Amino acid sequence: MSLAKQVAVITGASSGIGYELAKSLARRGCPVGVLARRQDRLEALVGEIEAAGGRAALAVADVADRTQTGAAFRSLRDQLGPVDLLVANSGVGIPTLLEPMNVDDVEQMFKVNTLGVVYAMEAVLPEMLERGRGHVAAISSLAAFLAMPGESAYCASKAAVNTYMECLRMQVRHRGIHVTTICPGFIETPMTAQNKFTMPWLMKADQAAEYIAWALERKKTLYCFPWQMSLLITVAGWLPSWFVEWAVRDKAGVRPEP
């Protein structure tokens, strides 16, 4: 199904998946609104899209701030028109520590990864429901399906996104709104660049963007990729937690906090 002429807004568009997805959707004919905290990166992205013949607009906001997020979406609507497709992509990943506990980091992850999705939905859903059409998507993670030592908050924040999106899908099923949850594995981004362990089936961000655009075109409900990593996560979910802890700690080079 063509995305041409659908106004798409992507949060977390200043780098990684969001940056590449904005270009991918623009190539498909979408006017694209890009939202993030770093204005210079957004300006560079808009420049790339326009140089390639596309149409784009930017708005600066921290998705962890409800007021900023709402204002940014209103600005993008004024520039591009009503939003047809939302991709709530913003995300952060920080290890969960024990001694000392890094509660501030945990709080920030939930604000960005989970509440950032909610605030973005709040900005577009009322108008979509009024029009009786629209498409909302969230970029979650395969980590939503598997508890891992040292990643308590990240896994929990993404699991919350999955549950929120599934419940939302049931609420709007008969209102003309499509809901998509995207769960990638390891993608080469500034966030994963900090990982000090081997990341199986690591994928380039531009390739991941093409997979995501494909899923959006087909209005997938849940799309997990790459399939090899998805299968591994599924199998690991059947195993006892002590085995998963051993495998992650000793095989992937991850060490729980002492």
Query: Is the residue at 235 inside a domain?
Result: yes
- Residue 145 sits in a domain whose CATH number is 3.40.50.720
Query: Is the residue at 258 inside a domain?
Result: no
| The pLDDT value given to residue 192 | 72
| The pLDDT value given to residue 138 | 98
| The pLDDT value given to residue 7 | 98
Residues 75-113: tens digit of each pLDDT: 999 999 999 999 999 999 888 999 999 999 999 999 999
Query: Is the residue at 132 inside a domain?
Result: yes
154 is catalytic: yes
Per the structure, the complete domain to which residue 40 belongs is given by: 8-251
Report the C-alpha gap between 241 and 199 in whole angstroms: 20
Query: Is the residue at 230 inside a domain?
Result: yes
Report the C-alpha gap between 156 and 172 in whole angstroms: 24
List of residues 6+ apart from 1 with CB closer than 8 A: 217, 218, 219
Query: Is the residue at 2 inside a domain?
Result: no
DSSP 250: I
Query: Is the residue at 52 inside a domain?
Result: yes
Query: Is the residue at 257 inside a domain?
Result: no
- Say how many domains are in the chain: 1
pLDDT per residue rounded down to tens, the chain (258 residues): 789 999 999 999 999 999 999 999 999 999 999 999 999 999 999 999 999 999 999 999 999 999 999 999 999 999 999 999 999 999 998 889 999 999 999 999 999 999 999 999 999 999 999 999 999 999 999 999 988 888 899 999 999 999 999 999 999 999 999 999 999 998 887 777 676 667 777 889 999 999 999 999 999 999 999 999 899 888 877 777 777 777 666 444 444 333
Tokens 């790459």 sit at which residue?
A: 226
Tokens 């899209």 sit at which residue?
A: 49
| The pLDDT value given to residue 250 | 46
- The whole model's pTM is what? 0.90
Catalytic residue among 119, 154, 164, 223: 154
| The pLDDT value given to residue 132 | 97
Backbone angles phi, psi at 138, to 5 degrees: -130, 140
| DSSP code per residue over 1-42 | ---TT--EEEESTTSHHHHHHHHHHHHTT--EEEEES-HHHH
What's the gap between Cα 71 and its chain centre?
A: 20
The answer to whether the CB of 60 falls within 8 A of the CB of 71 is no
Query: Is the residue at 109 inside a domain?
Result: yes
How far is residue 183 from each of residues 61, 139, 177, measured CA to CA in Å?
24, 6, 20
Report the C-alpha gap between 223 and 88 in whole angstroms: 15
Considering only CA atoms, which of 9, 147, 129 is closest in space to residue 78? 9
| The pLDDT value given to residue 73 | 98
Tell the burial category of 243 from Cβ atoms under 10 Å away from its Cβ (0-12, 13-18, 19+).
Answer: exposed
What's the gap between Cα 54 and its chain centre?
A: 23
